[in-house]
Amino acid sequence: MAQSRFIRLLTRFGSTPQRVLVISCHPSAEGLIPAARQRILGSLDSCDVDVRHTDLYSDGFKPELTAEEHRHHTDPVVSDDLMRYTRDLTWCDTLVLVYPTWWSTQPAMLKGWIDRVWAAGVAWELPNGADRLVPRLQNVRRIIVVTSHGSNKWINSFQGEGGKRVAFRSLRSMCNRRTRCHWWALYGVDTSSEQTRRAWLEQLDERTIGLFG
């Protein structure tokens, strides 16, 4: 373990640190997902990476797509209130999404961030005469999802795992073709024990440091 970490450090010597953007979405400051967010940020803080974190609820992010945005949805124009979010997205090489799964997918606040920030001129473009979107987020080479599910893995698979498809099919398709995906989920939260939750949080530390440490 120590030797492999030494080799990774030698490999990165002289190179620029990885750029990690953490987007968290939960209305409460307490609970499993806020604890997971703190674990991720704490582990990243001990690694040789540059980190930017956005808490959508603390920011008061407005998730609703405006009529004006919808009217000009193919125009590469970014409104002033979205500039910081788009700069962060085009800056990072790793995107970490931390959120609870509600109704089989991302919370409305996070879905609104996707609707408004992953826009024309930022995440994609549609050239004149073309019938397919051209991906623009070539900087993003890794997507990590940290989430919880009330039900078990089998039920989520039966329901189609909508949140996973959004992240690893739709979002990934706008990123670099070599983008790697990681799904760090805890299933069966509604009936899980404190020990199970604590073990999952500790596993987040290990996985984060394993990737970036």
How do residues 156-199 score in pLDDT, each as one tens digit? 888 878 899 999 999 999 999 999 999 999 999 999 999 999 99
Domain borders along the chain are 19-212
| Portion of the chain with pLDDT greater than 90, in percent | 76
Residues 6+ apart with CB under 8 A from 159: 104
The token pair at 87 is: 């700069």
Half-sphere exposure of 40 (CA within 13 A, CB side): 26
In whole angstroms, give the CA distance from residue 82 to residue 80: 5
pTM: 0.90
Q: Element (H or E) spanning 55, and its range?
A: strand 49-55
* 171: nearest Cα among 132, 207, 208, 145: 145
Q: Which CATH code for domain 19-212?
A: 3.40.50.360
In whole angstroms, give the CA distance from residue 115 to residue 63: 8
Tens-place pLDDT, residues 59-96 = 999 999 989 888 878 888 888 899 999 999 999 999 99
Which amino acid is present at 192? S
**Helices of type H across the chain:** 2-12, 32-45, 56-59, 67-71, 83-91, 108-117, 153-159, 162-165, 194-212
**Between β-strands 134-135 and 124-125, what pairing exists: parallel, antiparallel or unpaired?**
antiparallel
How far is Cα of residue 180 from the mean position of the Cα atoms in its chain? 12
